[in-house]
Amino acid sequence: MSLQLTGIHHLTAITANAPKNLDFYTRTLGLRLVKKTVNQDDTSAYHLFYADGQASPGTDLTFFDWPVGRERRGTHSIVRTGLRVGSDESLRWWKERLVASAVPAGEIGGIGGHSALDFEDPEGQRFRLVSDGGAGAAHPWDKSPVPAEHQIRGLGPITISVPDLASTEAVLTRVMNMRKGREYPSPDGEGQVHVFEMGEGGPAAELHVAVQPGLRPAHQGAGAVHHVAFRAPDQETLHQWTQRLNEFRLPSSGEVERYYFRSLYFREPNGILFEIATDGPGFTVDEPLETLGERLSLPPFLEGRRASIEANLKPLA
């Protein structure tokens, strides 16, 4: 059997207002803050991780807190983040909640083979709530303001925009072993969207590629997505992916120790940053599951700088 990615691991976006970001994702969306740490390459910035009640791989939505202006939307970018819920009934529940919270939201409808509801966060990041029909395990957070049956179950699909499909498709299918499936018109009326599947498929394991040559290149800022990560079960599998990228002469970061997982970064031909990350060891490696996210966590190589790092961070509350 060929080397396979098993789905979406996490997605990292950019916020310019960490306190409001924390409020929206925990209180409005009902996600759990499972890790409060810093960007390991820029310790002046928070790196906030939101996930389900068990901090499961495939549920992590993370943010770098950078003092930047708003994103300029366009192609060569990740344009829509899918968040899975368990049913069409949950979509209706969320529509009412988002409207009541004055969150910009569209109408429930069929998009790309799934029942879905589009909305935006306060900084303009574009999301799509997707009904996955209750497939797979769910791990609700018992302290969420959202009822367990309607809580966000995880990530996927993720939609990227490119001006030309050919080179991106070659990397997705020949290098990353994704399967090309269906296609559908982009809901925004700009171009066609092509669906690529990983592992067992389904919303948690789909990357949607919108081909949009009429758009100008995006410029990252608040409300933009920085990168998307795909799942590798363990470190041995990640070694195989590292070797595979080398065999295809695809430039990469080499393996990077992120403490909570091990990562490999590279850019697809249209410049979008991809990551392959291991499922483990996970967020309980340095604090108990019961108290995840309650204090600033630092990996061992930064622990000696805790006092100076904490002094440079803005309060979240």
Start-to-end C-alpha separation, the chain: 49
3-state secondary structure of 36: strand
* pLDDT at residue 317, rounded to an integer: 80
Is position 139 within any domain?
A: yes
Q: Residue 131 above 80 pLDDT?
A: yes
Residues in the chain, total: 317
* pLDDT at residue 2, rounded to an integer: 87
User: In whole angstroms, what is the distance from residue 162 CA to residue 109 CA?
Assistant: 24
- Render pLDDT for 214-259 as a digit per residue (tens, 0 to 9): 999 999 999 999 999 999 999 999 999 999 999 999 999 999 999 9
Sheet holding 114-120, edge to edge: 109-111, 114-120, 126-131, 77-85, 154-162, 206-211, 192-197, 179-185
Give the pairing type, strands 225-232 and 255-257: unpaired
pLDDT tier for residue 292 given thresholds of 50, 70 and 90: very high
Is position 2 within any domain?
A: no
DSSP summary character for residue 113: T
Range of the domain at 125: 8-312
Query: Could you give the number of structural domains in the chain?
Result: 1
Give the mean model confidence (pLDDT) for residues 284-297.
Answer: 97
pLDDT tier for residue 1 given thresholds of 50, 70 and 90: low
User: In whole angstroms, what is the distance from residue 35 CA to residue 49 CA?
Assistant: 5
* pLDDT at residue 302, rounded to an integer: 96
Give the mean model confidence (pLDDT) for residues 283-306.
Answer: 96
CATH number at residue 96: 3.10.180.10
The answer to whether 231 and 224 are in contact (CB under 8 A) is: no
Is position 157 within any domain?
A: yes
Q: What are phi and psi of 203, to 5 degrees?
A: -55, -30
Give the mean model confidence (pLDDT) for residues 192-208.
Answer: 97
Is position 317 within any domain?
A: no
Q: Residue holding tokens 């006092």?
A: 307
- Render pLDDT for 97-129 as a digit per residue (tens, 0 to 9): 999 999 999 999 999 999 999 999 999 999 999
Tokens matching residue 41: 């390459």
- Render pLDDT for 12-36 as a digit per residue (tens, 0 to 9): 999 999 999 999 999 999 999 999 9
Is position 3 within any domain?
A: no
pTM of the model: 0.97
Q: Residue 288 above 90 pLDDT?
A: yes
Q: Residue holding tokens 């409005």?
A: 28
